[in-house]
Structure 1
Amino acid sequence: MALGIGLVLLLSVAAYGQENVQYQGTPLPLCDLNRGLRVSLPDWGCQRFISCDSDGLAFGPQDCGQGTLFNFEEQNCDFPYNFECPETNDSCKMRAVAGFCNNYTQCDNGQLVTLQCGEGTVFSNIKLGCEYPWDLSPEEKEYCNIDV
């Protein structure tokens, strides 16, 4: 019976993948280097973080609220325009689609997805949010191919 339960548990973890891993006092090299701190999980674009205790054990992960990312320096979730996320996966960076800035890309559970701004707005790579085209910097207008 115990073997059957263990096999089901093992298959469940394999089926759901890495995004559903929970650390409850798990030794992790990342925590061994960051004892007593919170750290963002690699390849999640600062969207998720774990808490490391003084013994190097990991707890979590936790997700930042919508529109916020984990700020390591402040040790909390913050708006992305207040700091720069040192992303480990540059291809998963939040940014406007060049020439079509009403669309932008961002990480969702470690995967790059394309989203669309609301009507009449475009994505600002500086403010990391949707703005009216006339509020963009000259460089952003050129990147977006906008004449305003």
Structure 2
Amino acid sequence: MLSLILGLVSVVAGEPVSVCRPTGDRYFIADGAQCDRFHMCDEDGNLAAEFLCQDGLVYEPVSKQCGLPFKIDCLGSGRTLLQEPQAQGNCQRLNGKWAVAGTCDEYIDCMSGVERKVTCQNHLVFDDATGDCEHPDTANRAGCTAEELYGFECPNTVGQARYPAETDCRAFFTCGIFTNYHPRLGGCPVNSVFNPASQACDDPENVPGCENYYSTA
């Protein structure tokens, strides 16, 4: 375990801390104020060493490893301080994910200062809070809402309903309580189209206006 942690940390000098307790074995403990710093205590309860996660990573006390901050609660644990950023290229820190300005589905993924641009698939958008690609109604990013991206707003309906997308016979919007009545884009399998009458995917010949959707003529 120690070797895994040390691969993404550096030993740092800091003020002595009285957080160690004698346990008969060495163990790690999170710093009380800085989320990317942690300590190793020796068998007798003395502070043996202090470590700093690589820039952009924070310490997770349960797994005892450094990771991206999206699923690690620094704020709730009161560990709000971080080391100074080591920006490099488009990486605001050596490790992390950041939305590409002016886009909804692109982000920069940085690992140890090496960056790559990633595009979310299947009409998903990048969520700054989770670091993942999410449905627009879940991500709730300004300028990237489902209504703004699709040009469609859910009618005031009770329960769940589907509505056709005017520009594509295969596409439809689902509106309901599970999306908080924001539209979620869906699509029918190849060789079928959405039938508004049945609220389901159907053969093209059964949907007026979509009979020739797959025609090669």
TM class by shorter-chain length?
Answer: 0.3 to 0.5
TM-score (norm 2): 0.35
**Higher RCO (Cα < 8 Å, 6 or more apart):** 1
Q: Give 1 or 2: higher helix fraction.
A: 1
Larger radius of gyration: 2
